Amino acid sequence: MSVRAWWAGLSAVAAINIAIWACAAASLDTAGVQVALSAIYVFGCAYRSFLPVYDIPRICIVDSWASSVLVGRTIATLAELAFAAQWAVYLHASDLEAVRLVSLAIVPLIAIAQLCCWHAVLTTSNRGHVIENSLWGIAAVLIVGSLVATAAQGAAHRGLALAVWTVGGALFVAYIFIVDVPMYWQRWKAEEALGRRILSYAQGFADLSRRRVVSLRWEDWRSEVTWMTLYFTIGVWVSLSLVFASEYQRRVTTAAHRGTESRITGITQNALVSPTCWARKPIAAGPDRMPA
């Protein structure tokens, strides 16, 4: 496969994902927080699909300021925080207290991961990416555990989305700790072995703002193709599925709430109008209670 073909495929999928999000936003009853958070992630991933960037070596496909690492990484940070917030919002609606507690940890974990990523991008040291992706793996373990706990509540809490998320999440965790983190670890150790100079934050900021290496060579992009393809396709589909799942969750909760209100109202109305509830029962006459 050539870089141009891969890039064209990413761009096509990005356009389709934007269309799906637009249809979802137009068709849902309420444009809630999940729709807004998904928009940040979907459009952020689309931008990075149209203008791919390989951060540390400053490699890009389009020679434009819009392809600078500074712009791309800023968009990526906002998108990834939004994606983490989607999971936090979804999990926080759980009936289980433990799952709600887990939801409070997701965004802080990913926020720290973003700081580690910026450290790597600014200094050009892959050590930051080792920690960043490890934190993503830990967050994924917490999410998968929460999904399993939710499914264990009973059949009413199980569904196709939950099953797909659980299996997909387990595969993601395996990929992170078997492939991704070891890859960045090896890169970091190779840097140390070569004694490569690490940039200061100020030097790194100036470098990523201005320097771009335009390349369409497969050799330059080979190591990034797998994770970028999965990230900009399946990752976006998970974001979109959270929108639909949260809307379903909202409707079920609303219906249950209305059902409870209807039952309470019905009982109250029956109590108010039923003569058997308010009529005083006559006292049976006995031998010692004869009328005078």
164 within 8 A of 91, measured Cβ to Cβ = no
Residue 246 has a pLDDT of: 80
Length of the chain as a residue count: 292
The model's pTM is 0.84
pLDDT digits (tens, 9 = 90+) for 216-260: 999 999 999 999 999 999 999 999 999 988 877 666 656 655 555
Average pLDDT over residues 265-270: 53
Token look-up 């100079």 returns 197
Q: 17: which DSSP letter? A: H
Q: What is the pLDDT of residues 138-197, one digit of tens each?
A: 999 999 999 999 988 875 556 788 899 999 999 999 999 999 999 999 999 999 898 888
Higher pLDDT, 210 or 232: 232
Rounded CA separation 183/271 (Å): 70
pLDDT digits 0-9 by tens, 102-125 = 999 999 999 999 999 999 999 999
